[in-house]
Amino acid sequence: MPATDDFTVTPYAVEGDIDYDRLLDEFGAESLTTEQKAQFPQPVHQLIRRDVFYAGRDVDAFLAAANEGKTHSIVTGRGPSGPIHIGHIIPFYFAKYLQDQTGCLVYIPLSDDEKYLLKDKSLDEIHGHTRENLLDILAVGFDPERTRIVVDTADADVVYPLAAAFAKEVTQSTVDATYGDPENIGLSFYPAVQAAHLLLPQLVEGRHPTLVPIAVDQDPHVRVCRDIAAKQRYDVSKPGALLSKFLPALEGPGKMSSSGDAASIRLSDDRETVFEKIRNHAYSGGRRSVESHREHGGDPEVDVPYQFLYYFFEKSDERVERLAREYRDGSLLSGELKEIAAASIADFLEAHQNRREELGPVADELKQYRLRESERQAARKQAGYPSTRVF
């Protein structure tokens, strides 16, 4: 796992100023090409256009299936260890965009078991976060006919048998080399659970291209799963990966976090709170004085409010380029840029919160997204188990 004097990127820790190109060398992934970007649905999403999703594996197979109207799927999940912030929700809105444009299947696993193993939280606390996170995911507005949400502990009848089958394909030395020394035996087993998540669409629907849009720190899960699929003991293809950069932390380099004392913008934040956090906590690329900024300009490449707009919250390329140009020449001040970013984020959150408020109880809403009994049986059968329970 990449861990240098400059930065650290693992599934469980991200620190420092990340060199994304060096990560590709370490992980063996490839940058997205201009030709690949052009194959995404038109208009190409800003996350692709602006190289936020900047690299991947086997992306071509997914794009070909999407453009030919063949079965294809997305897997993007959530570890429910706390409230969701804006960095967590972006991949779900990207998956929703692809589903709207191409009709892809979307599978959403919630790894409540992993978070219990990893965090100093009770099962009851994790359960509470799971319920709240589910409401935010449901508020994105996925098509229930083409979306399945799987909660590990609630869907153990399908997740555990698959994980047990896949665990036999992974050695402890592979886990240690990929993840480092796990804190407990549960985390040693978890890569097999993650493989169950990533291969589940194919076990239910048959062999087809699957794409996993994830932040680059989660890539080890995909690599282990691809090794399992490559052994060809199951009728599945290796899942592809679409790797993203991190939405910056409010206070500067590193990914936005929902833990500890670091400020983050949560999906539950009201408009006033968003403005307060951006004004008081967002790292600025501007100068120390208005006079100096007018003379020398600011640096949008390190300015967090600008990066929020660039990553996701400003769809217009023309406007985002104009803001960068005006910031560099000093005609746009740091405070003005913060107000623009805060307004865009607050508008997004208000729309999301309104959709969430329209939802009923989470158990009722979730019913239409859960695996059907026939789908559970199909997955078990493909993994070599009886299609129905023996006992």
The phi, psi pair for 187, rounded to 5°, reads -70, -25
pLDDT digits (tens, 9 = 90+) for 123-180: 999 999 999 999 999 999 999 999 999 999 999 999 999 999 999 999 999 998 888 8
Instruction: Evaluate if residue 254 carries a pLDDT over 80.
Output: no
Report the DSSP beta bridge partners of residue 106: 74, 147
CATH number belonging to domain 19-245 = 3.40.50.620
pLDDT above 60: residue 51: yes
Domain ranges of the chain: 19-245, 257-357
Q: pTM score, two decimals?
A: 0.92
Task: Give me the chain's average pLDDT, please.
Answer: 91
First to last CA, the chain: 42
Residue range 327-340, pLDDT digits in tens: 999 999 999 999 99
Helix axes 185-205, 156-167, angle to 10 degrees: 110
Q: Residue 202 and residue 62: Cα distance in Å, rounded?
A: 13
Q: Which of 60-74, 183-197, 260-274 has the lowest mean pLDDT?
A: 260-274
Position 229, amino acid = A
Long-range contacts (CB closer than 8 Å, 24 or more residues apart) made by 269-272: 269/349, 270/349, 271/346, 271/349, 271/350
Q: Is the pLDDT of residue 259 over 60?
A: no
pLDDT at res. 162: 95
Q: Rounded mean pLDDT of 116-128?
A: 93
When pLDDT is cut at 50, 70 and 90, the band that residue 351 belongs to is: very high
CA dist., res. 246 & res. 244, Å (int): 6
Please state the rounded mean pLDDT for residues 88-101.
96
pLDDT at 360: 96
Q: What is the dihedral sign for C-alpha 231, 235, 237, 239? A: negative
Task: Provide the pLDDT for residue 363.
Answer: 94
Rounded Cα distance, 149 and 201, in Å: 11
The predicted model gives 226-230 an average pLDDT of 93
Which ranges constitute the DSSP H helices of the chain? 20-27, 34-38, 46-49, 59-67, 86-102, 112-118, 123-138, 156-167, 172-179, 185-205, 219-230, 271-281, 290-296, 304-308, 317-328, 334-357, 362-366, 373-382
Adjacency order of strands within the sheet including 210-215: 30-31, 53-57, 240-244, 210-215, 73-75, 105-110, 147-151
pLDDT band per the 50, 70, 90 thresholds, residue 100: very high
Domain 257-357, CATH number (from 3.40.50.300, 1.10.240.10, 2.40.30.170, 1.10.3720.10): 1.10.240.10
Q: How many secondary structure helices (H) and strands (E) does the chain include?
A: 18, 11
What is the structure's pLDDT at 177?
87
Confidence at 67, pLDDT banded by 50, 70, 90: very high
The pLDDT, as a whole number, for residue 179 is: 85
Q: Among the listed ranges 2-6, 43-47, 231-235, 355-359, which one has the minimum average pLDDT value?
A: 2-6
Cα distance between residue 240 and residue 53, in whole Å: 13
